[in-house]
Amino acid sequence: MVALALLGLGWILWGPKGKAGLDPAQGARFALGDPNAPVVVVDFSNYLCPHCQNHALNVLPRLKAEYIDTGKVRYLFRDFPFPGQANVIRASEAAACAADQGRYYEYHEVLFRASSSWANLQGSVLDRYLVDLAGQMGLDENTFSQCLSSNKHREGVLADQKLASDLGLTGTPTFFIAGEKRTGFLPYEEWKTLLDKALAEKK
C-alpha cells in the first residue's frame, strides 16, 4: 500500500525502498545546459507540488543565469507524479509535447504558474486547457493536440515515476546535486553553497 501526504508545502510519498546502484541521471529526457558541464543536477518534480513551484519560478531562473547558461551545470528534469494524480501525468505528457516543438523549459514554467487553474481539471477539459496554454506560447496547437491525444509520451512519464520509486524517493522536489540527494525546497543561497563546493571539487 502506498500512502500520500502533504508535509508543509512539499509532498511526501511512502512506498517501497529503492534499489541500489541506480543512476538518477540515466535516460533523462529533458535538460538545460552544456552536456559536458562539470556538475550535473537531477530534479524530480511534481507539477502540483507547491515547493516545486517555488523552486521552478523563483530559484531555477537564478540557477539558469548563474550556473546553467554559463556552462557550469547540466540540469536534468524528471517527472514524479504520485499514484492517483492522473492530471499531473497528463501535464507531464503535455510538457513533453512542448519539448517536441523545442519549448520544454518554457512550458514547464507555465504549468507551474497556471497550476491553480488546472489542478482540478480532468479528461478532455484538462486536455483542452493544456492545448490552450501551448497556443498562448505560440506553439502549433494542432501538432500539440495530436501529440497529447496520441499518448506518445506517457511511457516516458511512467518510467520516470518508476525510477523515483526504485530510488526510494520520498517527496518532491528531490534533487541530486553532483550525486548528493536533497529533498525539499532549497533557497538559492544553499544552492550556491552546494554548487560552488561541487565545482571546486571538480577542479
Give pLDDT, residue 170.
Answer: 86
Report the pLDDT value the prediction gives residue 10, as an integer from 0 to 100.
46
pTM score, whole prediction: 0.90
Block mean pLDDT (10 aa), the chain, length 203 = 38 41 94 98 98 99 99 99 97 99 98 98 98 99 99 98 95 97 98 98 91
Taking the C-alpha atoms of residue 175 and residue 177, their distance in angstroms, rounded to an integer, is 6
pLDDT given at position 20: 56
**Is the separation of the CB atoms in 4 and 83 below 8 Å?**
yes
Whether 61 and 32 have beta carbons less than 8 Å apart is answered as: no
Q: How many residues does the chain have?
A: 203
Grid cell listed for 3: 500512502
DSSP state letters, 139-159: --HHHHHHHHHHTTTHHHHHH
Instruction: Place domain 29-39+50-80+170-198 in its CATH homologous superfamily.
Output: Glutaredoxin (3.40.30.10)
C-alpha angle 13/15/19, rounded to 5°? Answer: 115
